[in-house]
Each structure stands twice: as C-alpha cells, then as structure tokens.
Amino acid sequence: MNRKVKALMVLNNIKGVDIAKKLGVSPTTVYVVLSGKGKSRRIQKAVAEALDMTVEDLWPNGNNKAA
C-alpha cells in the first residue's frame, strides 16, 4: 500500500471498508487499488476526497490513471 496514503487514512480514521461501502464495491477492490495492484480513478478520487486532497497529491507518479 502507498505508505503516504495509508498513514493519512490512519491519521484521519478513514477505512478502506468505508470507501468501499460509499462506492458500492468490495473492500478487496479498494485494497487492490490502494496496494497499487489495480487502478481505479473512481476509487482514488474517493480516497482523495475523503482526505481532502487531490488524486495527484496522493499518486504523484502518474499512478492515477485507470487501466
């Protein structure tokens, strides 16, 4: 998992399962994206919004494009 994203989620008490419920996807899907093994602009955007940041702030190396 992206260490920066993980740390920010912990600090802000945001859980992947909460993102999953909000988007109507499985928690596994969210964790696959957070780990970098999958890509979903929708999930990245939801995480960024929950953290009051931009996708580019959290995934600056171009890892923010959906496959």
Note the Cα 16 to chain centre separation in Å: 8
Instruction: Check whether 5 has a pLDDT greater than 50.
Output: yes
Structure-block tokens of residue 17: 């399962």
pLDDT of residue 59: 87
- Please write down the HEC assignment for all residues of 21-56: HHHCCCHHHHHHHHHCCCCCHHHHHHHHHHCCCCHH
pLDDT of residue 67: 42
pLDDT of residue 8: 95
pLDDT, tens digit, for every residue of 14-67?
999 999 999 999 999 999 999 889 999 999 999 999 999 999 999 887 654 544
Query: How far is 47 from 24, CA to CA, in rounded Å?
Result: 14
- How many helices (H) and strands (E) the chain has is answered by 5, 0
